[in-house]
Amino acid sequence: MRILAVNDDGIFAAGIRALAVRLARDHDVTVVAPDSEKRAASHAITLYRPLRVTRVSPPGLENVRCYMVDGLPVDCTKVGIGHVMEGEVDLVVSGINHGSNLGSDIIYSGTVAAAFDAVIMGYHAMAVSNGSYHPRHLEDTAEVAARVINSGLPLEDEGVLYNLNVPDLPLSEIRGIRAARQGSLVYEDALDVRYDPRGHEYIWMAGRLLEDLPEEDTDASLMRRGYASIVPIRYDMTARDKLKTLACKIDQIKLH
């Protein structure tokens, strides 16, 4: 299978190296990734300057075709599919992200967005994340991802992104893989306001997790209990249960 591997942690990140090395044992893998870390880029793309694409050979990936893009994660998906691989792609895999992408995190995630863009373009895709920002078991996460991919699951449905999150554990300690629904994570935004030596204000963006709702079938709950979770996600965000009510209310709004 022809696989495009992308990420948001950058071309030299350990996560994409572990993923590409493992998948290359069974598939034809091409890596297209940003030149530096682009976390929380969400679905941003580069429109007002040219992108530069460079063939590189990162340590550990000497036997895999790798390209570095001076842009964002979604740029890499578009360049990878449309230019590097010229549309000859069976599956796009984004990751392995250093840190989970659970619940509302997926709105901000460059990892998830890079995979989502492939789905929007009509390709099959999966996002893969490890549960730790400082992972110790990336090869085990890559093995879980490889087994999911080799099962054929990501190729079964059109218009669906499979979001895989794996605990940062040895394979022998992961309790299994479970289907899940997207959970609800509640954060408190924290703005760290500081001043430079010239007295100019600057702000560090931060946040603190307040709670995640305890439903047992959510991605976050399963991860806490040592399971890998897979959430099927569509990009159509229409609140269909509200359409009839909305239509009735709109009928009462007169323009003339």
Q: What is the CATH number of the domain that holds 224?
A: 3.40.1210.10
Return all residues near 174 (Cβ < 8 A) that are at least 6 apart. Answer: 140, 144, 166, 167, 226, 227, 228
The whole-angstrom separation of Cα 124 and Cα 141 is: 20
For residue 54, is it within any domain?
yes
Asked if pLDDT for residue 4 goes beyond 70, the answer is yes
68: which strand partners? 33, 54
pLDDT (tens digit per residue) in 58-67: 999 999 999 9
Give the residue numbers spanning the domain of 223.
2-182+213-251
CA dihedral 92, 137, 59, 12 (to 10 degrees): 60
For residue 69, is it within any domain?
yes
- Provide Rg for the chain, Cα atoms: 20
For residue 202, is it within any domain?
no
Asked if pLDDT for residue 145 goes beyond 80, the answer is yes
Instruction: Label residue 165 by pLDDT band (50, 70, 90).
Output: very high
For residue 187, is it within any domain?
no
The whole-angstrom separation of Cα 82 and Cα 188 is: 39
Q: How many structural domains is the chain composed of? A: 1
Residue 210's SS3 state is strand
Quote the percentage of the chain above a pLDDT of 70: 96
pLDDT (tens digit per residue) in 191-206: 889 999 999 999 998 7
Asked if pLDDT for residue 106 goes beyond 70, the answer is yes
The whole-angstrom separation of Cα 212 and Cα 173 is: 24
Q: Per mean pLDDT, which range of 164-168, 186-190, 227-231 is the poorest?
A: 186-190
**Are the CB atoms for 140 and 112 separated by under 8 Å?**
no
For residue 199, is it within any domain?
no
What is the Cα 82 distance to its own chain's centre? 19
Asked if pLDDT for residue 40 goes beyond 90, the answer is no
Buried residues in 14-23 as b, exposed as e (16+ CB within 10 A) = ebbbbbbbbb
Give me the amino acid identity at 126.
M
For residue 35, is it within any domain?
yes
Please give the full DSSP string across 107-119, using - where no structure is assigned: HH-HHHHHHHHHH
For residue 190, is it within any domain?
no
For residue 208, is it within any domain?
no
Q: Mean pLDDT throughout 110-117?
A: 97
The whole-angstrom separation of Cα 166 and Cα 173 is: 11
